Amino acid sequence: MIDFDRKILDNGLVLLHQYDKSTSLAAVNILYKVGSRNEHPNKTGFAHLFEHLMFGGSANIPEFDTPLQLVGGENNAFTNNDFTNYYITLPVDNIETAFWLESDRMLKLDFCEKSLSVQRQVVIEEFNQRYLNQPYGDAWLLLRPLAYKEHPYSWATIGKDITHIKDATLDYVKEFFYSHYAPNNAIISVVGDIDFDTTVSLVEKWFSDIPFREISKVIIPDEPVQTEKRTLEVFRNVPSDSIYLAFHMCNRTHDNYYVCDLLSDLLSNGRSARLYQNLVKERQLFSEVNAFITGDIDAGLFVVTGKLNPDTTMEIAEKEFFNELNNLKSTLVDDIELQKVKNKVEATFVYNGVDVLNRAMNLCQYEFIKDADMVNTEMSRYNRVTSEHIKSIAEEIFTEENCSVLYYRKNNNNE
Amino acid sequence: MNRSIAPQFKQISDVSLPEISKRQLSNGIPVYFMESENDDVVRFDIVFKAGNWYQKKPLVSAMTNGLMREGTVTMTSKQIADKIDFYGSHLQPYCEKDNAGFVLYTLKKHLDKTLAILSEIVKNPLLSESELEILRLKSKQSFNVEIEKIAVASRKLFFESIFGSENPYGYNLKASDYNSFTIDDVYDLYNSQYVYSNCYILCSCKDIENDLKIIDGYFGDKFGGGEAYCGDFIFQQTDSQLIISEKSNALQSSIRVGCPSIDKYHPDYSKLKIANTLLGGYFGSRLMKNIREEKGYTYGISSSLYSLHRSGFFMVSTEVGADVTNETIAEIYKEIDLLQTKLVKNDELFLVKNYMLGEMVRYFDSIFNQFEMVKAVVDFNLGMDFYEKRIADIKSVTPEEILNLSQQYFNNKNLKTVIVGKK
């Protein structure tokens, strides 16, 4: 049970707080409700580029990192399809420095050409390093537009075309800031040895004069129901063939989300899981297998993927994956196996709660999804899942017409 | 309110270090306990001198370590996996240059039952030939993927260049090595290294006496029989200062620059760590500021000072746009040179000192972080005074000392440069 408090400032900023007397380290996390799904289709990768620019100085503070390092702090950030998250850990005695820094860049960023041109280049190198110059690095860039035809999940956070980043202008940076970065579009959480009242007064001191801003409300299109199997085949300089199956599933707040999560655990969480035991260990068709859900806010994907052993053909790989999925439709999961995956979820909650920063991030993310109290109620939603639920969701989503398949083949003339 | 003025802050004067309680099992195995407020989770490590250093052929250490959980005298590989997963535990074998062993994360309520499994894995593994063939194939496939990554390839070439290829620290693994050993090599390594007299245990817990009894029940006997092999190798740097591996289609080059360096036992180690932090050990470092934040050549660049049991090394690492490979290398050398020729300004040193003290607070924050820190000294037969000295050194180090240490340990003449990608 995590005890936390909530306070909403007049300008709309939501504050979440957990008092932890056991540590001298504090975590301050800020989540902005903007991710790549909020981007214009011709300006993709912008939410992520913007995350980089947030470190280039703000209205009254020329540099973000240095003053924080000076007080013993550390920070970083990440962007995904749904939100952008900034986090700081520092000695609790110096926590006001975190509020000072975060509030100033929420108030107004220092829009500067130099920072934009350098960070454009840094992001291009990130694109090269993580996606292009990496075996299988572009698989997700290919799989997304195969599975999504209308919804902005069809592009990755890095963007669908690097020219969008190259062409980013300072005017658009400004427009993006004022339409997405606002107290009423943010959640801040604080975990550490600092009481709620002190936290509220410090947060009010630094954040309450930041004006409420109108948030750009671009309608995000629903993804139409997929009606036939989609396939894509590519050839790359990689050492072995790889296959990716993506099935559409529900959104994050739906009860079936928990069913899907457990389904993916049955298939591939831990060495006892089905895909590993049957296809890697017993039949040795794959060297590596994985099944996971994307966990997005809007309707997401259930992905099954594997690297093929040299003697395995794509046809066999796909057929054997479907065999495993079909088994989940035809036979009820027994109680022990279902209890096993629930135990794993429960243990993961406990392990994750050890760290102050994880707790701070979780509070913000659950509040963004629906309600921070989910940190305390999530497990009961997993516990309600039955073998019948598992079977019925497997029947619903593991169909050919709901499936997009990426055949990622190695070049025969491996140069 | 004037937003351009920073709030008051306190310099960190004190970092609270955990206490380690050293105990012994009936057979003499040392057990290092860290007391934890958190009673829900336990981390338990058992560490053997069974890493790459102790193998007579490439890969045998890693394969032995990985094969041990693939079945024991009483349990099949699948039964082991089923039980560990059912308890929500994580059991990770690991094999490094010096050590090999097992890391266990478990809920406290399942400690007894998971240790029962782990003790079987350690003391009575089946080491079956058919499981070895599965592991061999799987590992070879993943090696083939890993070696395609320029960062992996350059790291391997770097170790080969600074340690030489005639020893396990520097040997650059080839795909064909996966076919060069047999199950007999595995038996041999297991028998000589996985012996009670060749290991130690670390455990986080709340009730030492109780947990010691449980652990003694599983690991307190004189298990294992062979005589430990010590490994006898020499280090021999390669002759060339510059090693290039061209990749025709590379968008990026992976760069490593560095040299062998002092280990944790050396009195200069802590202060040299500070010089390294200035250069490339944090986000605000000179290398990051220059090569990422000023020039945009890379997504990230860092330098590190790392100690092994028999040596240490200093290494700058980055992946950069292929077209700026040479420019980046010139800038790396320029920054290393600056540390040796110009005294660091007080402002910058003050910043690094405060950052590093904050880092110490972070390193000792949660029980899992503490565990890593404690393991990093226990493994060298050092104690918490190692970190007391580090903290004192951070507070006292002077610009002159940084300059002298940089001249002594980052000397250009000793540095090797490795490029994988395009020159």
Q: Flag if B81 and A307 touch (Cβ within 8 Å).
A: no
Is B198 within 8 Å of B228 (Cβ atoms)? Answer: yes
CB contact under 8 A, B86 and A339: yes
Task: Note whether B303 contacts A: Cβ–Cβ < 8 A.
Answer: no
B357 closest CB neighbour out of A72, A133, A347: A72
Establish if B357 touches chain A: CB-CB under 8 angstroms: yes
Flag whether B283 is in a domain: yes
Q: Determine whether the interchain pair A104/B3 forms a contact, defined as Cβ–Cβ distance below 8 Å.
A: yes
Inter-chain CB proximity B41 and A119 less than 8 Å: no
For residue B229, being part of any structural domain is answered with no
Which of chain A's residues have a Cβ under 8 Å away from the Cβ of B40? 350
Quote the tokens at residue A181: 């970065």
Written as one string, the DSSP assignment of A244-290 is EEEEE---TTSTHHHHHHHHHHHHHSSTTSHHIIIIIIIS--EEEEE
Q: Which residues of A touch B66 (CB under 8 A)?
A: none
Distance (Å, whole) CA A11 – CA A106: 12
Which one-letter DSSP state was computed for residue A224?
P
pLDDT in tens, B394-407: 999 999 999 999 99
Q: Does residue B377 carry a pLDDT above 80?
A: yes
CA-nearest of A59, A108, A55, A104 to A78 is A55
d(CA A324, CA A274): 8
Least CA distance to B291: which residue of chain A?
A122
Q: Report how far residue A185's alpha carbon sits from residue A106's, in angstroms, rounded to the nearest whole number.
A: 10
Contact B12 A91 (CB under 8 A): yes
Is the pLDDT confidence value at A345 over 60?
A: yes
Alpha helices in A80-169 (DSSP H): 95-107, 113-127, 139-147, 162-166
- Identify whether the C-beta of residue A239 lies closer than 8 Å to the C-beta of residue A410: yes
Provide the angle, in degrees to the nearest 10, between the axes of the packed helices B269-280 and B399-409. 90
Across the interface, do A91 and B10 touch by the CB < 8 Å criterion? yes
User: Which residues in chain A are closer than 8 Å to B82, comparing Cβ atoms?
Assistant: 272, 340
Cα dihedral across residues B287, B293, B295, B297: positive or negative: positive
Query: Which residues in chain B touch residue A272, judged by CB atoms under 8 angstroms apart?
Result: 78, 81-82, 84-86
Q: What is the crossing angle of helices B385-396 and B269-280, to 10°?
A: 60
Q: Token digits for B112? A: 């007894």
Please indicate if any CB of chain A lies within 8 Å of the CB of B12: yes
Q: Quick one: B247 and B199 in the same domain? A: no
Kindly tell me if the per-residue pLDDT of B14 is higher than 90: no
| Closest chain A C-alpha to B142 CA, distance in angstroms | 7
Residue boundaries of the structural domains of chain A: 5-207, 230-410
CA-nearest residue to B81 within chain A is A272
Inter-chain residue contact A284 with B77, CB threshold 8 Å: no
A-B contacts (CB, under 8 Å) = 203
Q: Taking CB atoms and an 8 Å cutoff, what residues of chain A touch B84? A: 270-272
pTM of the complete model beyond 0.90? yes
Q: Is residue B233 part of a domain?
A: no
Backbone angles phi, psi at A12, to 5 degrees: 100, -10
Average pLDDT, chain B: 95
Domains A5-207 and A230-410 share a fold: yes
**Site of tokens 């994956």:** A321
pLDDT at residue A1 in the model: 81
pLDDT for B239: 86
> How far apart are the two ends of chain A, measured CA to CA in Å?
56
Q: In this structure, are residues A397 and A147 in contact, taking their beta carbons and an 8 Å threshold? A: no
The SS3 assignment for B81 reads helix
Q: If we measure between CA atoms, which residue out of A296, A295, A319 comes closest to residue A306?
A: A319
Instruction: Note whether B184 and B273 are same-domain residues.
Output: no
pLDDT tens by residue, A97-137: 999 999 999 999 998 999 999 999 999 999 999 998 899 99
pLDDT band at A413 (very low <50, low <70, confident <90, very high): low
Q: Which pLDDT value is given to residue B250?
A: 86
What tokens does B73 get? 């005298």
Please report residues of A whose CB lies closer than 8 A to that of B145: 135-136, 238-240, 307
Average pLDDT of the segment spanning B349-368:
95
Residues of chain A with Cβ-Cβ distance to B148 below 8 Å are: 135, 237-239
> What ipTM score was computed for the predicted complex, to two decimals?
0.93
Second-level CATH architecture of A230-410: 2-Layer Sandwich (3.30)
Q: Output DSSP code: residue B72.
A: B
Q: How confident is the model at residue A5 (pLDDT cuts 50, 70, 90)?
A: very high
Of A89, A99, A132, which has the smallest distance from its Cβ to B362's Cβ?
Answer: A89
> Taking CB atoms and an 8 Å limit, are A347 and B89 in contact across chains?
yes
Q: What is the DSSP letter of A295?
A: -
Would the CB atoms of A24 and B87 count as touching at under 8 Å?
no
Give me the helix-helix angle, A256-268 and A374-383, nearest 10°. Answer: 70
**The pLDDT value given to residue A415:** 39
The shortest C-alpha distance from A68 to chain B (Å) reads 8
Tokens of A97: 């420095």
Residue in A55, A198, A72, A222 with CA at minimum distance from that of residue A123: A55
Among residues of chain A, what percentage have pLDDT more than 70?
99
CB A53 within 8 A of CB A116: yes
Is B207 found in the same domain as B247? no
Buried/exposed A306-326: b ≥16 CB within 10 Å, e otherwise: bbbbeebebeebbebbbebbe
Over 50: is that where the pLDDT of A356 sits? yes
Q: Which residues pair with A215 in a beta bridge?
A: none
CA dist B266 and B380 (Å) reads 12
B248 lies within 8 A of chain A by CB = yes
Collapsing DSSP to helix, strand or coil, A414 comes out as coil
Taking only residues 38 to 57 of chain B, the set having a beta carbon closer than 8 angstroms to any beta carbon of chain A reads 38, 40-41
Q: Indicate the residue of A60, A136, A344 with minimum beta-carbon distance to B4.
A: A60
Q: Which residue is it, tokens 């940084």?
A: B402
Instruction: Give the one of B40, B150, B320 whose C-beta lies nearest to A350's C-beta.
Output: B40
Query: Which structure tokens are listed for B390?
Result: 């580090």
pLDDT higher than threshold 70 for residue A406: yes
Say how far apart CA B104 and CA B195 lie, in whole Å.
19
Band (A84; pLDDT cuts 50, 70, 90) = very high
Distance CA B126, CA A230 (A): 46
Q: Is residue A414 predicted with pLDDT exceeding 80?
A: no
Q: Measure in Å the smallest separation between the Cα of B176 and chain A Cα atoms.
A: 15
Task: Enumerate the residues of chain B whose CB falls inside 8 A of the CB of residue A209.
Answer: 1
In the block, tokens 């025969």 appear at A412
CA-based end-to-end distance of chain B: 53
User: Would you state the CATH architecture of domain A5-207?
Assistant: 2-Layer Sandwich (3.30)
User: Which of B117, B283, B291 is the mutation pick for testing A, counting most A CBs within 10 A?
Assistant: B283
Q: What is the pLDDT of residue A157?
A: 96
* pLDDT tens, position by position, A223-254: 999 999 999 999 999 999 999 999 999 999 99
3-state secondary structure of B422: coil
- Check: CB of residue A126 under 8 Å from CB of residue B299: yes
Q: What is the pLDDT of residue B225?
A: 82
A118–B319 CB contact, under 8 Å: no
The DSSP output letter for B198 is G
Q: How many domains does chain B have?
A: 2
| Tokens read off for B31 | 């057990």
Query: H or E segment at B205?
Result: strand B199-205
**Are B148 and A239 inside 8 Å of each other by CB?**
yes
User: Pick from A338, A408, A348: which is nearest to A378 by CA?
Assistant: A348
Summarize pLDDT for B82-108 with one digit per residue, the tens. 999 999 999 999 999 999 999 999 999
Rounded to whole angstroms, how far apart are CA atoms B246 and B327? 17
| Residue B13: per-residue pLDDT | 86
Count of other CB atoms within 10 angstroms of residue B61: 28
Which single residue is written with the structure tokens 């690095």? A137
Asked if the model's pLDDT at residue B258 lies above 50, the reply is yes
C-alpha distances (whole Å) from B228 to each of A368, B24, B267 are: 56, 20, 30
Helix (H) or strand (E) holding A16: strand A14-19
Residue B214, in any domain of the structure: yes
B105 touches chain A (CB under 8 A): yes
CATH number, domain with residue B85: 3.30.830.10
Task: Encode pLDDT of B123-150 as tens digits.
Answer: 999 999 999 999 999 999 999 999 999 9
What percent of chain A has a predicted confidence (pLDDT) above 90?
Answer: 95
Task: Identify the residue among B41, B132, B138, B323 best suited for mutation to test binding to A, counting A beta carbons within 10 A and taking the highest.
Answer: B138
B328 within 8 A of B298, measured Cβ to Cβ: yes
Question: In this structure, are B215 and B248 located in the same domain?
Answer: no
| Sequence-ordered alpha helix ranges (H) in B87-128 | 111-123
Per residue in A283-309, pLDDT tens?
999 999 999 999 999 999 999 999 999
Distance of CA B394 to the CA centre of its chain: 22
Is-contact B141 A288, C-beta < 8 A?
yes
Q: For residue B238, what pLDDT is reported?
A: 86
Helices B60-67 + B183-193 axis angle, to 10: 80
Residue B326 CB contacts under 8 Å (≥ 6 apart), including other chains: B423
10 Å Cβ neighbour count for B278? 25
Average pLDDT, rounded, for chain A? 96
CB B280 within 8 A of CB B287: yes
| Chain A residues lying within 8 Å of B10, measured CB to CB | 91, 93-94
Contact check, Cβ <8 Å, B299/A74: no
If contacts are CB pairs under 8 Å, which of residues 390-419 in chain B contact chain A?
Answer: none
Residues in B touching A270 (Cβ below 8 Å): 81, 84-85
Give the structural domain span for B299: 242-421
